[in-house]
Structure 1
Amino acid sequence: MTIRTAVMAALLGAALTGSAVAQSGGDVGGVWQTQAGDANVRVSKCGTQLCGVIVSLRDKIDPRTGQPAIDDKNPDPKLATRSMIGVHLFFGMKPTGANTWSGQIYNADDGKYYASNVALMGPGTLKVEGCVGALCGGENWSRVSR
Structure 2
Amino acid sequence: MKKYHPVAQKSLLFFCCLFSFAIKINAQNSPANSVLGVWFNEEKTGKIEIYQSGNIYQGKLLWGKYMLDEKGVLRKDTKNPDVRLRSREWQNMVMLTGFQYKNGQWEGGEIYDATTGKSYRANMKVRNGRLEIRGYVGISLLGKTIYWDRIK
Which bin holds the TM-score, normalised by the shorter protein? Answer: 0.7 to 0.9
Uncovered stretches (5+) of structure 1, i.e. residues with no partner: 1-22
Matched, 1:121 2:127: yes
Matched, 1:78 2:115: no
Partner of 2:147: 140
From 97, 107, 116, give the equivalent of 2:103: 97
More helix by proportion, 1 or 2?
2
Question: What is the RMSD of the two structures over their aligned residues, measured on CA atoms?
Answer: 1.9
Question: Distance between the aligned counterparts of 1:97 and 1:49, measured in 2?
Answer: 15
User: RCO (CA 8 Å, sep 6+): is it higher in 1 or 2?
Assistant: 1
* TM-score in terms of structure 2 length: 0.71
Uncovered stretches (5+) of structure 2, i.e. residues with no partner: 1-28
Using the TM superposition, give the Cα deviation of residue 24 of structure 1 relative to its aligned residue in structure 2, in angstroms.
2.2
Larger Rg: 2
Q: How many aligned residue pairs are there?
A: 121
Deviations 1:27-68 (Å, cap 9, x if unpaired)? 2111101101221100022222211011111134223x5422
Q: Is the 8 A contact 1:34 1:140 kept in 2?
A: yes
Using the TM superposition, give the Cα deviation of residue 121 of structure 1 relative to its aligned residue in structure 2, in angstroms.
1.1
Q: Is the 8 A contact 2:76 2:88 kept in 1?
A: yes
The residue type paired with residue 62 of structure 1 is D
Matched, 1:46 2:53: yes
Using the TM superposition, give the Cα deviation of residue 143 of structure 1 relative to its aligned residue in structure 2, in angstroms.
0.7
